[in-house]
Structure formats: structure tokens, C-alpha cells
Structure 1
């Protein structure tokens, strides 16, 4: 779909943020869009599917695609997430290469750069040093030099802090400058093409991830089993979700003593869903075991991977 009410010189296109896991891609996406469309957590590999956010300006429409972090996979899920990222940035106009200010560039960053150049050799790459607020000036300077050396001397590199809204407007100007002229792909006011069930499932997963460590976060998946208005109260949304884990021991951790941890997850997720939908919400979350789902092709298919 295109929308023709665009002035001469109007620019539009797709920008994909690509980088290692946990480099701040989702936080940056939310900051640029001006609305929470991607969940955020401290654990790597939180994002599991491409999320499109729409930024509308008088002179441009930018569709930002937040992708899972590229990494050397340890599971079948990891392999499929890497494939998703490569498929995604094969179709974009500009790539935003993200590295965090508080971590040195390493083999993982160089591996990602090689993947990009192999798949999209002629696509403009903008270097983005994220988490500017977590590092001192000297450290940020080191990252900028490292990223320049990796991307080449003619590359645009910009340091940003999404949480503190530092230089996000500058970054957006640079991204728009790299886009081709074109029409609006989405109506003004449109912020994402994520469907409501997916956004709700992700909000539940985000709350479930809080405070988890080591391997357990990767074992968490959420699906909406049923969602409909309450027959007795049409203003209330009834949501029944399933939180999948891989082993019984994980279920005990998620539920917590006397089910208190799970109750907290439901309470916090419900609050976010009410804010998202603008409606009263009844939320029921059941925990089920789907043994070793990250390595099981049938289970991955069932969960949408």
C-alpha cells in the first residue's frame, strides 16, 4: 500500500538495526518511534522476530526494523533467528550497525559485518554506538574509532543514548539522508504492523524475563491461547495465555514460592496490556512444559519460529 499525499522530495524506506544480542536495538527502536513496540530485557536474545516501527515526519517516513541479535547459534532456535535477520536485512534500504559504548568490538561484531557485506554489499551502513549514558567520553571515543575502522573511513558513525534521548534526532536525520525518495507506505499515525496478540504475548514474556539468569530466559516462550471480549462486560478483554518452558525445574522457578512470582508476572503484564489496549483486562497465564522446544523443529513451528 502506498499513500500519495507526499510532497516533492519526500523520502521513505526501511532501516534495519543489526548487531550482537543486547546492544540496545529494541530500546533504540522504541525511542525513535516514540512508543513501546519492542519488549526490553537485560538478557541477550530477547527479540525473537523482526518488529517494524513507523516514524512519520513531514519530509519522510522511516520504517525501522528491530531484529534479533546475530550470534553463533547454540540451538535450532538460534539458527532460525539468524536466518530471520539475514532475510530481513536483505530487503532494507539502510542498515544501522549497533555496538554498545561500554563493550569493545570483538569477533562477533566483525562476523556480523562480514554477513552484511556478503548479503548486501551496496547497502549504506550507518554505525551506531549505543548506550552512550553507560560509558565515559574516552570510552565512547574508543568505540567510535573502532567502529570507523571496521566500517571504513567514509562511514557515518553516531553515538546515541536511547534512554536519555541523546542524539536520537541526529541519528534519524542521518538515516533519512540515506533513504531514497518514495511514498508513504503506512498512513500517518500508524506506529507498527505488529498484531495485537503478538504484542500482548511479548509483554507477558517481558515480565516473565525480569530477574531470570543464565539459560532460563531462552527457554521462555508465550502464546495467546484465546482472546475475546467478556460476554458479560464487553468493555473487558479476556486473555488466556500459555507460558512454555522446557523443564519442570524451570516451572518451579517461574512460579516461585506459593505461586507468588507468577502472580507478579500476571499483575505487571496486565497493567501493561491495559495501557496498550485502553481496556480493562482479565489475564490468565498457565505454565506448560514443552520439552526442549528450542531444539525441536515441530515445537518451533508450533510456536511460530
Structure 2
């Protein structure tokens, strides 16, 4: 590890990003890192895996743990895995960012807060989406009301989408981390492989373009990645649960699959810094979201 990173009084630690689905956890992580690591969409269950995002500055290394949104209903085995991934992220962290929407605190938020109370680590309440609050003066009474729920280490209003006040949040985080040497090299941004990131980018496009229910019935597995100089050859399979879903993904004359592949390829080229040749297939695998063997093989049991 570079000696210059071991500055006197340097701080390093794990920071869990926790909240109900669709409050902007992944958007916040991407904003902090300055690049896309965790996929985003306006639907619950977009994030299905625990993802580390590493932000290193001269005097601190914050290792952010993005988690699936905690699920109230565990109808399928996959939902239980999502909750397991979120719960396990809280176990051994030094700090928790509890993300809620600035303009509403729901019963689901309250239930999550009750789960966090027992963890015994500092909790920073992050009020996200302040860009949607027309009168910013209303934020002060909201912050005062929420401060009565528990003794938060800090309450920070932000807009992950626009980046507003995120630098202030990062400074608060750095000050709350324990002193210690850096864990990861200073140029490392995530613990995830290129194969994982490619699969997630494909699933993001599927989630954004398909109907309300279908994204929950599909997953993506990257079969291979081959790198040749400045070219990545990537082959991936989209798994759905019923033949009708396969037809929806492919679209009329294959146009749906072409659009998803095109958009995913552009994002991959930006992420990997090279040209990408992407091959996509769609296959039916009935009941995959309740199949323990398949979930294990696709990484859902490794939060």
C-alpha cells in the first residue's frame, strides 16, 4: 500500500447505506464515487446485491456498502436473500447512513429505524431528494421533528441526483470513521468484478424499459468476458420465468432486445474504457427466484 496514504491520524471504516427501496441509496453512492457502480431505476428491488464503493481521500478511506432495500414482504426466496444482504451489511460496519426522503417519513422507515437502534454504531440520518422540496424553509422543522426519534450522529439534507450538499455529508462521514490505516489501494473503487458490473448494467436497462412487474421476474448472468487489446467481448443470458416474458424482453422483431443491448453496451464502454461487443440471449427458467440452487449459483446467497 502506498506510504503516502498512511498519513498520521488517517481514518478508515465501513459505512452501510440503509433504507427502504427506492429512496436513492444507489444514486447517493454513485454521486459520492463520481461514477456508476450501483445501478439505478425508479423501481423497488433494483439493487439486489451488496456492493462496496470505496472513496479514498488523503486523510480518509470510506468503504460504502450499498444494500438492497429492506423488504417488508418476503414472498419469495429471493426477497429473503435481499433482506439477508441488507441485514448482514449492518453487522460489522463503523457507521450507518439511514436514507429517507426529505418530504416524507413512512411507517416502513420507522420499522427500519427500529432495526437500526440495536446496532450500537453512529447513525447519520440523510434526507435525500431535497431538490423536490419547493420551500427549503420547511426542511428545518422536518429535521427538528426527526431528531426527536433518536440521537443521530448528524442529520444531513442532500440531493443525490444533483449532488447538493453531498460534500458536506462526506465530511461528516470522514469525521465519524475510526482512526486506522487504509484497507484498499487508493485507486480501487469497488470490490466487484467486471463480469458482475456488466450483468448489472444489462439488468438496469431491462428494469428501466420493461413493464411494472417484469423486472422482478428476470435476472442476468454473464457467461463470458474476453478482452482483446481495447475490445471486450461479452456474452450474457437474460433469464425469465415464463415464455410470455421472453417475448416481452425480445420485443417486436427483436427491437426491444436490440435497444437494451445498445444502451447497456454504451454504458459498458464508458465503464471499462474500451470498445464492447455484446451478445445477448433470453432463456426461460421457471421459478428461478424460488430456486435455492440457482440463487446460490448466481450469487444471491453471498451478501
Q: TM-score, normalised by structure 1?
A: 0.92
Aligned equivalents of 2:283 and 2:195: distance in 1? 19
Matches within 5 A, 1:24-173: 24-72=24-72, 73-102=74-103, 104-118=104-118, 120=119, 122-136=120-134, 137=136, 140-141=139-140, 143-152=142-151, 155-173=153-171
- Report whether the alignment pairs 1:258 with 2:273: no
Q: TM-score, normalised by structure 2?
A: 0.93
State the shift of 1:290 in Å. Answer: 1.3
Given that 1:2 and 1:184 are in contact with CA atoms closer than 8 Å, whether structure 2 keeps it comes out as: no
Secondary structure at 1:29 match in 2? helix
In structure 2, the CA distance between the partners of 1:195 and 1:20, relative to structure 1 (3 Å rule), is same
Which is worse superposed, 29-38 or 213-222? 213-222
Secondary structure at 1:8 match in 2? coil
Aligned equivalents of 2:127 and 2:277: distance in 1? 41
Aligned equivalents of 1:78 and 1:146: distance in 2? 32
Aligned equivalents of 1:112 and 1:93: distance in 2? 18
In structure 2, the CA distance between the partners of 1:216 and 1:146, relative to structure 1 (3 Å rule), is farther
Secondary structure at 1:150 match in 2? coil
Report Cα offsets for 1:133-159 as digits up to 9, x if no partner.
12222554454244323233x541110
- Report whether the alignment pairs 1:194 with 2:195: no
Cα RMSD over matched residues? Answer: 1.8
Report Cα offsets for 1:1-32 as digits up to 9, x if no partner.
89784121111101011000001000000111
State the shift of 1:183 in Å. Answer: 0.5
Given that 1:19 and 1:109 are in contact with CA atoms closer than 8 Å, whether structure 2 keeps it comes out as: yes
- Report whether the alignment pairs 1:304 with 2:299: yes
Corresponding position of 2:210: 212
Structure 2: gaps (5+ residues): none
- Report whether the alignment pairs 1:9 with 2:15: no
Secondary structure at 2:247 match in 1? helix
Aligned equivalents of 1:52 and 1:62: distance in 2? 10
Which is worse superposed, 187-196 or 199-208? 187-196
State the shift of 1:81 in Å. Answer: 0.9
In structure 2, the CA distance between the partners of 1:247 and 1:100, relative to structure 1 (3 Å rule), is same
Aligned equivalents of 1:71 and 1:299: distance in 2? 21
- Report whether the alignment pairs 1:245 with 2:261: no
Structure 1: gaps (5+ residues): none
Report Cα offsets for 1:101-120 as digits up to 9, x if no partner.
24x212211211122223x1
